[in-house]
Amino acid sequence: MDTFLIVINIAVFLLLMAGLYTLQRKHVKFSKRVFAGLGLGILFGLVIHLLYGTASNVTETTIQWLNIIGSGYVSLLQMIVMPLVFISIIAAFTKVNLSKNLGKISFYGIGILLVTTGIAAAIGIAATFGFGLDGMELQAGEAELERNEALTDRVADVESMTIPEQILSFIPTNPFADLAGSRSTSTIAVVIFASLIGMAYLGVRRKQPEQAELFTKIIDSLYAIVMRLVTLILRLTPYGVLALMTRVAATSDYGSIVNLGKFVVASYVALIVMFLVHLLMISLAKLNPVTYVKKGLPALTFAFTSRSSAGTLPLNIKTQTDGYGVSPGVANFVGPFSLTIGQNGCAGIYPAMLAVMVAPTVGINPLDPGFILTLILVVIIGSFGVAGVGGGATFASLIVLSVLNLPVAIVGLLISVEPLIDMGRTALNVSGSMTSGILTGKITGEFDEQVYNEKSGLDEVVEA
């Protein structure tokens, strides 16, 4: 009987995919197809949840088959992340205009990421106070106890490393191993390695222009091929979103979500307020925030469903260049750096909220201005090197709590609602990255406002 029901579920899913393909054949816009996949996935997942529950064999087996599409799509994007980061950073240096503005782009790009992370931490602190969240009210169940046991080794690794040692871990000793993602800090190591190659290129261009010109042509060719591969993979986004949202809706523990409802609501209030701050910053740059939302929705939607800032990087860069009019140099520089520096959701709001919640358990007054300022500073510094993949928020929280000598057990007590909150956090990370790219481009003159205001954008590029 179970096998028959599983086959029925898979058949329904294939019909939904066929419907999305029909929309594609009818040239329905890419962004609309992404939202169609999102809506259909939620509905189909809820039906599976209501009919079979989360722990049934039917649900588990159905999701395993659906993961071929959902997890397979995320894997394809993750496959291209390291090559894209590496080539994008080097390509940023080979742009003539960018090399003249490199200092400004570095200063403003990274600076905006860090400043917005500090603002996000302040908003997280305010939300925790506003909703009266208290870490002592949280109770550990079986799943939470297992999570805390799993975190024990990771906590030991974090606590055993001083800040200078953590900084040293960013330096690539074997760039080829880091290109294979062998370490948690591999992404920032690749960024550093590619940046060093870019600086070496600038020196060669001054003394040996012929060799530099040949190198530029090679990098431009590789970049064109990588971006074409990105475009081909992005065409699968509606189907990937459909599968991912089906899994989320079918397997979520709604009972735990209700029990921790106040924390979930407080988290999303903080995330939404920070997103509004992004829109305010766009408005202060004399750009239409509605246009920002419309053109950024496909990237934000995928970030929400995939919970991977790194996996969203290809779509992030495409949105910045083809949707917003940010120069490839700026987008290729800010996008990869945002994977490891200044993630507003994972490294900003979340660690700050946990620190405030747990501070009273060790006799610290969370309302003390000194504690608040120290927390914000630690959050900003701790945002360096946070990987843009699932688990980045956990790592950032462990760093912040360990530096402040606060109990880290609270990280494991929120395991049941972690996936739901992580969706919003990841979307905010990507929004912060795109906001930084736009503002940096605008400040340095590496921005085409006409492209930003055009109705066309990413939809046409993906279909090309």
Domain limits for position 41: 2-463
In a 3-state reduction of DSSP, which class is residue 419?
A: helix
- Whether the pLDDT of residue 419 is over 60: the answer is yes
Res 283: pLDDT = 96
140 pLDDT tier (thresholds 50, 70, 90): very low
Give the alpha-carbon dihedral of 331, 334, 337, 343, to 10 degrees: -110
Res 76: pLDDT = 87
Average pLDDT over the chain reads 83
Q: Which of 100-104, 133-137, 385-389, 438-442 has the highest mean pLDDT?
A: 438-442
Domain total for the chain? 1
82 phi/psi in degrees, rounded to 5: -60, -50
159 pLDDT tier (thresholds 50, 70, 90): low
> Is the pTM of the predicted complex or chain greater than 0.85?
no
142 pLDDT tier (thresholds 50, 70, 90): very low
Question: Which among 305, 238, 243 is positioned nearest to 13, based on CA atoms?
Answer: 243
Is the pLDDT higher at 253 or at 437?
437
Instruction: Tell me the one-letter amino acid at 288.
Output: N
Element (H, E) at 279: helix 261-284
- Whether the pLDDT of residue 120 is over 90: the answer is yes
20 pLDDT tier (thresholds 50, 70, 90): very high
Helix axes 57-94, 237-251, angle to 10 degrees: 140
DSSP state of 347: I
Res 416: pLDDT = 66
Per-residue model confidence as pLDDT tens digits over 293-335: 999 988 898 888 878 887 788 889 889 998 999 988 888 888 8
DSSP helix, strand, coil percent of the chain (3-state; round to 5): 80, 0, 20
134 phi/psi in degrees, rounded to 5: -135, 120
160 pLDDT tier (thresholds 50, 70, 90): low
Task: Provide the CATH number for the domain around residue 333.
Answer: 1.10.3860.10
Question: Which of 18-32, 163-177, 422-436, 439-453 is least confident?
Answer: 163-177
Res 227: pLDDT = 82
